[in-house]
Amino acid sequence: MATIPNSTSSRIPKKTVKDFKFIKEIGNGSYSTVFLAIETATNRELAIKAVSKDLVTRLKKISQVFREKDILARLTDCNYAAKLYCTFQDDKTLYFGLTYCPNGDLLQHITDAGHFNEETVRFYAAEFVEALEQLQNRHIVHRDLKPENILLTDDMHIQLTDFGSGVIIDNNQSPSQLDNSKDVDEDKKLLKRNSFVGTAQFVAPEILKRGAIHFGSDLWSLGCIIYQMATGKHLFRGHHEYDIYNAVVRVSYKLSDDLPKLLGDLVQKLVRLEPNERLGSEETGGMKKLKEHPFFSEFSYETRWGHLLNQQSPLEAKVKLSSRPQLSDDELKTMSSGFDDRVEARLIGLRMAADAPDELASIISGSSSISLSNETASLQDTDNRNSLSDQSMRSSSYTPSSSNGSFNNNAPVTARRLQLPDHTLSLSEQASKNIYHKFVQNNLIIKQGILDKKKGLFAKRRMFLITEGPAIFYVDPDAMELKGTISWTADLRIEQKDMKTFLIHV
């Protein structure tokens, strides 16, 4: 069973799971779940990343978990990366105590705004440049930068996270001495065409082709992120993941006609096929040369560069005090510390009665990917009214789940409201803020996320919405069109394959 090594632990405080009270789930990863927790001794809020030992062992991801810990330990004094405050473990789980960023990830802010104005793009692009410079100074290549992996602090400054794909280049190594093949072979997500959801649009071609590791890979991602901030669209697009893959490796893209000239020039100088030709690489003059690009002309070294953390972000914080956990002293005092089945049930928003179906608890609890078996699977799909088989989906993003729902095992499972304390208020807020509300028949969305719905050899991106009722709706997020629903009956049966994949038998 996996354990956390001691190689980089000397500077990281040791805790136990009993030192924390877990408040709510705030995210999911490939083999982990992230929770908001409060340290009992200090009342400090942390994001606790819980990694399943069994799963990382079965998926052969142990080295990746250790590598992420080593990188985080190296970044403890980095202004633009999530801080690793502590590590601990129990028999089943590894825990990482990280910076809690209440304003969520960059993607949700881009989605809410549609796109950022030029001032906002410039500010965050400059923070990314500063962040990448700090990574390079510590010999780190992230390799999976994307808006979902960029969190925003209380005062709306960026924090890079999810360094599981990152690498540390030793002082006696150059990037050209290393390549991406080992990690790609170990991590099949970079080989399988059906696994690029939310990633292929930002991953550099040398990573997809298993070429040499280069600091320039992060510069490529920077260019793609800047473009998405400015337009609300991906730079590389296609109907299927295979199309996106080919567009990336051929560097085939078209800039939006209304993109400001200097901004477009910056993107073009970052998104180059050869890593050493990307602006900011050592071969082009380093990060100093990137900072001198005319798009950043108002960021002089004396007044702005190096002082961005003292500047007010032009992006308004979305998180209000009322959206943070409002716990009275008595509630917090009586809340159980540690992590057990009852705590987990509370965190996933279910009051799990003794007779509640395990299958329903499993699907609502946040399993992040779905496969529909071809035994009796039937989808009401506007693309194809016939039965569909071998429907596999992989998660690319997450949203926090709602709380305090309940189910019983009365058959058949009929549509009914979850017992949420402020249902009307929550539904009203959803109607005004969630663009997918119009698709869910006025039901409260419990969980939503972008999935890759595979059909035959190819996959299509869909927004999946698990609602009260319970029901599952899926929507084409580009066309904003409802594509179908999954019937939820008493015969529904769940078969979990791993942390990201489970079968739904209907």
DSSP 204-259: -HHHHTT-B--THHHHHHHHHHHHHHHHSS-SS--SSHHHHHHHHHHT-----TTS
Q: Which amino acid is at 277?
A: E
Which of 474, 144, 203, 155 minimizes the C-alpha distance to 308?
155
Q: Which amino acid is at 247?
A: A
* Angle, CA 259 vertex, CA 253 and CA 263 arms, to 5°: 90
**Residues assigned a catalytic role:** 144
Q: Rounded CA gap, 132 and 221, in Å?
A: 11
Question: Does 83 show up as a binding residue in the annotation?
Answer: no
Pairing mode, if any, of strands 32-39 and 45-52? Answer: antiparallel
- Token pair in block for residue 285: 């003059």
Q: Rounded CA gap, 506 and 488, in Å?
A: 8
First vs last Cα of the chain: how many Å apart? 35
CB within 8 A of 153, min separation 6: which ones? Answer: 99, 101, 102, 103, 159
Strand partners, 88: 95
- Token pair in block for residue 205: 């071609």
Pairing mode, if any, of strands 502-505 and 370-372? Answer: parallel
Q: Residues 371, 504: contact at Cβ < 8 Å?
A: yes
Pairing mode, if any, of strands 370-372 and 471-476? Answer: unpaired
At residue 27, φ and ψ (nearest 5 deg) are 180, 165
Query: Binding site for ATP: residue ranges?
Result: 49
Query: Binding site: residue ranges?
Result: 49
